[in-house]
């Protein structure tokens, strides 16, 4: 039983400790837990909410590492299958002083990419209030796409609120056209859609925030809210039938690692909604956790506990 659930591929990430050194030359690495949807589950659990994570790992060292880490983070693992047939995915990540780090994935044919969607019939959704899905699981394989699509249907049948982050990973798709068409079709099934402005340029063909929001509201009667993430400028929120409004970002003195910021945004939004905060306050929390995330190494190291969140909001200003 949990109030939040998500589906995705967990990964082991080897993060370089050699700053501004290409992966081909880096020597020192630190191992972390990763996976976009799992990052969200970890962040939501860290803020005191019950969670479950649906996935599959290999019966190997990385799979055991992931299971150990998930349990330590307090994320529910009732729906994580293991398989001896396929390995657990992993990747390497550069350390950079500015900009986004380069990553190299080793996830093709992974255990999660072979998750059988029939397994979803065993998942108890009776206590779930919010579910989060992303375009990454849909990108890794036909199995992954089917699982995301069918879980959306199950959630909508039971009237459970859903959030969807497109989370573009072009290298995982056969073509950009397939990626755009598939992700926009999945977005039709989400109550809340969370595109970034740069994703909007690809998925919608514009970087106009309101136009991006209107596209997703116009294409589906299920979608009720679109929140367009605009990086260091905050976010635009548009609810069906209401005027859009902007929410400011928080000042960041030093960016350590941008990976995990978008997942941190989802953590703030989802936890705020679970705590019945007004939507604007939940988006403000989302911006805060996204800002905190980029100041820490590792994909989810910067996600706060309740006391750390209170302290961050108290001592940091919006831009």
Active centre residues (catalytic): 263
> How many whole angstroms separate alpha carbon 62 and alpha carbon 279?
38
> How many whole angstroms separate alpha carbon 95 and alpha carbon 120?
37
SS3 state at 39: helix
- Give the DSSP letter of residue 102: P
> How many whole angstroms separate alpha carbon 34 and alpha carbon 137?
13
Buried b (16+ CB within 10 A) or exposed e, 153-180: eebbeeebbbbbbbbbbeebbeeeeebb
Measuring CA to CA, which residue among 225, 159, 165, 157 is closest to residue 194? 165
> How many whole angstroms separate alpha carbon 105 and alpha carbon 93?
9
157 backbone φψ class: left, alpha, beta (φ>0; ψ -120 to 50):
alpha
Ordered alpha helix ranges (H), the chain: 36-46, 61-72, 135-140, 142-157, 176-187, 197-203, 209-218, 261-274, 279-293, 306-315
Look at the block and give the residue holding tokens 């989400």.
190
Tokens of 142: 């036909």
The strands making up 11-19's β-sheet, listed across from edge to edge, are: 29-34, 11-19, 90-95, 103-106
> How many whole angstroms separate alpha carbon 204 and alpha carbon 107?
28
């Amino acid at each position: 039983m949990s109030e939040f659930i998500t589906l995705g591929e967990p990964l082991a990430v080897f993060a370089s400790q050699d700053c501004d050194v290409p992966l081909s030359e880096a020597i020192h690495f630190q191992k972390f837990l990763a996976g976009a949807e799992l990052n969200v589950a970890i962040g939501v659990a860290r803020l005191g909410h019950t969670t479950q994570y649906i996935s599959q790992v290999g019966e190997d060292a990385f799979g055991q590492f992931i299971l150990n880490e998930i349990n330590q983070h307090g994320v529910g693992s009732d729906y994580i299958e293991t398989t001896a047939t396929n390995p657990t995915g992993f990747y390497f990540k550069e350390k950079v002083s500015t900009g986004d780090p380069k990553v190299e994935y080793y996830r093709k044919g992974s255990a999660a990419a072979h998750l059988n969607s029939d397994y979803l019939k065993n998942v108890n959704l009776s206590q779930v209030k919010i579910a989060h899905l992303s375009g990454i699981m849909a990108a890794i394989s036909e199995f992954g796409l089917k699982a995301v699509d069918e879980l959306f249907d199950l959630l909508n049948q039971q009237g459970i609120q859903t959030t969807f982050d497109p989370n573009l990973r072009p290298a995982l798709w056969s073509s950009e056209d397939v990626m755009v068409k598939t992700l926009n079709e999945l977005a039709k099934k989400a109550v809340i859609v969370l595109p970034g402005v740069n994703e909007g340029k690809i998925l919608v063909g514009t970087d106009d925030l309101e136009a991006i929001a209107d596209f997703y509201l116009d294409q589906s009667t299920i979608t009720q809210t679109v929140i367009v993430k605009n990086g260091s400028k905050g976010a635009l929120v548009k609810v069906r039938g209401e005027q859009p409004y902007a929410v400011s970002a928080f000042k960041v003195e030093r960016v350590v690692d941008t990976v995990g910021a978008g997942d941190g945004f989802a953590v703030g939004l989802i936890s705020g909604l679970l705590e019945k905060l007004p939507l604007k306050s939940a988006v403000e929390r989302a911006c805060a956790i996204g800002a905190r995330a980029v100041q820490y190494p590792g994909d989810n190291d910067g996600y706060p506990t309740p006391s750390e969140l209170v302290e961050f909001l108290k001592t940091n200003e919006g831009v």
